[in-house]
Amino acid sequence: MQLAKVIGSLVSTQKSPSLIGKKLLLVQLVNADGKHPDEDRLREEVAVDSVGAGEGETVLICRGASARWVFGEPNEAIDLAVVAIVDTVTVNSTLVQP
């Protein structure tokens, strides 16, 4: 699993049947402090939301088969899923992200 920031959402009228009715979010990976790991190579990814996350929130994502297990069948088109909304991150007893 990885930390990511929700930066937007997607709407798609034509899609795989396994994505019908599912919310698609645009996310970017972040470090524990909420900063992007490599500012020079920011990349966005599309994740399927399972927790009702919104723009600006820090979330936990999982990939591959783990992402598919979050959803009932059919789920074959799912490769990245938002599985938690992060409230806080603590590193070495120090709160680094509220």
| pLDDT value for 39 | 65
| pLDDT value for 37 | 74
| pLDDT value for 80 | 96
pLDDT along the chain (98 residues), means of 10: 95 91 95 76 88 96 92 86 95 82
| pLDDT value for 12 | 93
Give the global pTM. 0.89
Contacts of 64 by beta carbon, 8 Å cutoff, 6+ apart = 79
Contacts of 67 by beta carbon, 8 Å cutoff, 6+ apart = 47, 48, 61, 78, 79, 80, 81, 83
